[in-house]
A and B are shown apart, each in its own frame.
Chain A
Amino acid sequence: MNKEDVNQIVVSSRVRLARNIENFNFPCCLSKEKGEELRELVYKASLKVGNFNFYNLKNMQECDILRFVENGYISSDLIKMKEIAGLLLSPDETVSIMINEEDHIREQCVLSGLNLKKAYDIINDIDYDLGKNLKFSYSKDLGFLTACPSNLGTGMRASAMLFLPALCKSGNITNVINTVSKLGICVRGSSGEGTKASANLFQVSNQNTLGKSEKDIIQLVESTVLKICELEIQAREVLLKDNEVGLKDEVLRAFGIISNCYKISMQEFYDLIAKIKLGIDLKLIYIKCDEDIFNLINMVKPYNLMQKENKNLNNYECEIVRAKLLNSYFKNTRV
């Protein structure tokens, strides 16, 4: 299995650390005044750590906040804490730090491809500097203390976003999920807990955070991810061998719709883009573009479209604008 194969399947890697600051209640029990004080404290500490853009959610427009959710910089849970919530975002948008979500601080780094070690190194450096300027809640026995005991210890969740169309088609995905869950690995829909798998995308992450070192957890997630990649590649080979003509037909039909439709919902877009991406990976279709076509996913989400169009759009208008964007994106591609 070469690196190119792996990076076709592993769309992105993400490492997040949960931290809390001493002498403040956890956000769920924090008063507005103390919450604001904490947000200011973290912001000040961040000035000594690196170059971040700071956002006070209270002063932000709703559409901008929702666009941040679409792009994965913040969780939708952070909106519930709007009064005291904040965000620190690195200029290249790979590092984001949520303030006053479930924990005081949630630092995350997202990189493309299978890059968990590098993502950890980046976020660990930031965590080290933040920890010098803030006093984290920590105990020798239980590690970093978090609002939910499920994040205790390392406070770390290492996850990879995997594109698994062949395992979905063959129906083996359920077996894979059940098997890896016994190893302390959790497989969820692409947008995290409780979400469905859009575009055959799955998030694979460690279930436990206490009782293993960060290095061991990353190794566990990475080795599991590689094993799943192997199974996906095998399933793709079977798929191609069994029905290449049918598969190619499906891919080209999807391409036909996405480049000619007049309006398109997110759900239909997810179905089509998954087929096209599989077609590209299997070299059934050649598309000339500089970037991964999965970058389109965030671009065509409603609040990203609204920002691009610089106006509010209802659902119906969104579908039309989305179709227009997709038509032009695929216009200059050769099949």
Chain B
Amino acid sequence: MICDNCGKKEAVFHSKTNINGKVTETHLCEDCLKKSQYINDVNNSFENDFDFFNDDPFFTDNSLLGNFISNSPYSNKKSNLDYRCPSCGCSFENFSQRGLLGCAKCYDYFNKKLMPIISNMQFGTKHLGKNYEQTSVEETKEDKIAELRRKLKLAVDEENYELASEIKKQITSLEAKNE
């Protein structure tokens, strides 16, 4: 199999990753692997987010992987190509430094690394508090009218009478509906 990155050499690294149900296959040659973020991530991992090598018998022996990483010139360096949350762009290192996640999606993306931390700092890992379900975001007629009245007041305050009269028309037409 040819390397995904350079498209020239034979791939020696094969992985399947499953992120939120989306399966991605990666095949890299030795040189591209050394340059890639995978080295950094395996090296930094105390628990990996990704199922390395699970589907490839060649890599089922972890000692091989251990050897490979410790011999790698990148083994003690941190790469800039750390995994980042696809939604906000924050890395796990960002979280380690400031103690804050970048967005709600980070909880999905860094789930495996976060869960032991959460389990250590909390009573448990399951929410037992109140349930939340947003009942309705749709504005009712009254909501719309209230919002228009607020805009009308602002327009009058700013002496923008043209806009005010336009808003007033909208209010009248809304009020006339279904009456």
Contacts and interface: CB of A to CB of B under 8 A. Distances in A.
Interface of A is mostly: loop
Interface in A187-209: 208-209
Interface stretch (A134-142, A161-169, A251-259): A134-142
Contacts of B117: 149
Given A133-B137, A140-B127, A143-B129, A209 B122 contact: yes
Contacts of A208: 121-123
B114 A211 contact: no
Given A28-B98, A209-B122, A156 B129 contact: yes
Contacts of B176: none
B77 interface: no
A153 B147 contact: no
B118 interface: yes
A29 B103 contact: yes
The residue among A26, A44, A48, A210 with the most chain B CB atoms within 10 A of its own CB is A210
Interface string A124-150: 100000011111111111111101111
Given A28-B102, A148-B99, A149-B114, A138 B132 contact: yes
A184 B126 CA distance: 17
Nearest to B132: A138
Interface of B is mostly: loop
B20 interface: no
A47 B127 contact: no
A208 B121 CA distance: 7
Contacts, number: 112
Interface residues of A, number: 44
Interface in A68-83: none
B132 A210 contact: no
B123 A20 contact: no
A145 B146 CA distance: 31
Contacts of A211: 122-128
A25 B118 contact: no
Contacts of A47: 146, 150
The residue among B90, B101, B131 with the most chain A CB atoms within 10 A of its own CB is B101
B143 interface: yes
B127 A25 contact: no
Contact of A212 (B114, B123, B131, B132): B123
Nearest to B134: A135
| Complex A-B, nearest 3 residue pairs according to Cβ-Cβ distance, in ascending order | A211-B124, A211-B123, A143-B127
